[in-house]
Amino acid sequence: MHLGLIGLGTMGANLARNAARNGAKVAVYNRTTEKTDAFIRAYGGEGTLIGCRSIEELLQNLPQPRSIILMVNAGKPVDDVIGELLQSRKSKLKAGDAVIDAGNSHFTDTERRIGELKKRGIHFLGMGVSGGEEGALNGPSMMPGGSREAYDRIESLLKKMAAKDGSSGKCVSFIGSGAAGHFVKMVHNGIEYGDMQLITETYHLMKSVLKLGNEEIAETFEDWNRSRELKSFLIEITSKIFRKKEDGHSDDLIDAIKDEAKQKGTGKWTTQGALDLGIAVPTMTAAVDARLMSSLKTLRTEAEGKIETLDLKHPTLALGALKNALFLSKICSYAQGFSLIAEASRIHDWTIDLAEICRIWKGGCIIRSALLKTFEEAYRTEPALTNLLLAPTIIDLFKTRHAKWRKVIAAAAFSGIPVPAMSASLAYFDSLRTARLPQNLTQAQRDFFGAHTFERLDRTGVFHAEWSN
């Protein structure tokens, strides 16, 4: 089949190579002509790759109906490229053509673009792609949503390009109508933020409480990655990070890296989207907050100097308990993400299959994990499951292991080690299992100062009290 691709950054270039290796005739264009020329020189022998010097030339190299992947920065650049495709003088997008935005676009932009292009008879697919540059080349997880017709047209190619799911399938599936694909990818990234922060907090406890050296930390994560519970891409790369030396030196690279974490915004989008939908995602929100706190390097250094050493207790902490705390906290993070996807699917009528999401995340993507098989089975057994933590197998895990989890978080607090994501996960679990929370007082307070009214347990209706009397 023929495919167009615009944007030859690392991800775009590797997706183009992946498609060409799998039999597609790929016409590529980049705004910087030199980059296009260099790409063709380097990879032109990997399949049928056609370098184009203009969008018009790219369009002319694609028979109708055309399918064109955009791999440009989210926001205005996507709109600009679509505008150029629509306004090209000799050859422009026509009814029946399809545009596939494979970048990290905000789902609301995707909804808007679907509506705008639909008026012209042009199909639009918002496709989340996860796996980094290696995944893009050798097999990513792909989450397309929007026009079913556009997906059906390129499904066979995407299945050849995608990672294997560990069974007989590939890590790509039509997610749903509208912006379902980009929403799911956004939540994927939110879970990724939470997972990374939980691993980071585990490292902090290993280093500061257990006093482990980098080689011991590497060995521990390597051992954990062999377990059924924690085997995952992020645990795997973490073990490798602690063994990386400075080029030409014996010093560990990890110790030279500044403790300020950057972000591109998808974690923040997840938190914002969750607030809009009224879904609690405390682990992901804590991960975003942790990155924001890390950026206050100057202030933190000043505070450390002024507050100095506190009189802290240092309780003993078992490595097995720490592994258990990471395991349960990770499950809570996933549970929050799936709840958010389920609510968005309900509100927007996207009919997203959560078991299928678990399946296509089992390979290729950054949050691929052995845990996803357990989650997939839970949702296939009970498709209407209201929260992942209520699956019988998950309930049993938390019943038998929660005590060690609590000891880890208590040990962190007594040692003065911040574990915001782990603490948020535990609070989420405890809040979920508590039938009566203290927000009856919150309601009374709101009614006292603002006459916002309240509901009662013993009768229906909306009430207001004269509190000052």
Tokens representing 317 are: 């902490």
**Whether 19 contacts 161, CB under 8 Å:** yes
> How far, CA to CA in Å, does 469 sit from each of 400, 454, 455, 466?
49, 17, 20, 6
* 177 burial type by CB count under 10 A (0-12 exposed, 13-18 middle, 19+ buried): middle
Residues 6+ apart with CB under 8 A from 98: 65, 66, 67, 68, 122, 123, 124, 125, 147, 149, 150, 153, 154
Q: Is 185 labeled as catalytic in the residue annotation? A: yes
Q: Is 192 labeled as catalytic in the residue annotation? A: yes
Measured CA to CA, the distance from residue 239 to residue 81 in angstroms comes to 41
Rg (CA), the chain: 25
**Whether 135 contacts 364, CB under 8 Å:** yes
Q: At how many degrees (to 10) do helices 319-348 and 420-432 cross?
A: 60
Counting Cα atoms < 13 Å in the Cβ hemisphere of 140 gives 26
Of 84, 111, 192, 201, catalytic? 192
Of 170, 185, 323, 407, catalytic? 185
**Whether 344 contacts 277, CB under 8 Å:** yes
**Whether 307 contacts 416, CB under 8 Å:** no
> How far, CA to CA in Å, does 231 sit from each of 217, 288, 323, 450?
16, 24, 12, 51
53-72 burial code (b ≥16 CB/10 A, e <16):
eebbbbbebbeebbbbbbbb
β-pairing, 123-130 with 141-146?
A: antiparallel
Q: Which residues are catalytic?
A: 185, 192
